[in-house]
């Protein structure tokens, strides 16, 4: 679809570049469609310790951000 719109001279970038901090990179690499938010939170806490607290508030905010603004993930039930 994107190639079609590019032929019509729409400006659609070939890729999207974002910068993540160390926590964001770790979380993004944990998302595989099988892990729950709780499992990702436990892995994050075991990797970085108490520096991640309040853990689940920050984690859900981050996941919501990449879901809404970046469209990299989708919710599954």
For the ranges 17-21, 33-37, 40-44, 49-53, the lowest mean pLDDT is seen at: 17-21
Note the pLDDT of residue 45.
95
Domain residue spans of the chain = 16-70
Note the pLDDT of residue 5.
83
Rounded to two decimals, the pTM is: 0.71
Give the end-to-end CA distance of the chain in Å, rounded to a whole number.
27
* Spatial distance between the Cα atoms of 43 and 66, rounded to a whole number of angstroms: 19
């Amino acid at each position: 679809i994107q190639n079609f719109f590019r032929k019509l001279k729409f400006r659609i970038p070939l890729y999207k570049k974002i910068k993540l901090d160390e926590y964001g990179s770790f979380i993004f690499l944990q998302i595989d469609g099988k892990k729950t938010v709780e499992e990702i939170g436990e892995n994050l806490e075991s990797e970085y310790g108490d520096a991640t607290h309040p853990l689940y508030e920050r984690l859900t905010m981050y996941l919501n951000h990449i879901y809404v603004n970046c469209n990299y993930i989708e919710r599954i039930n």
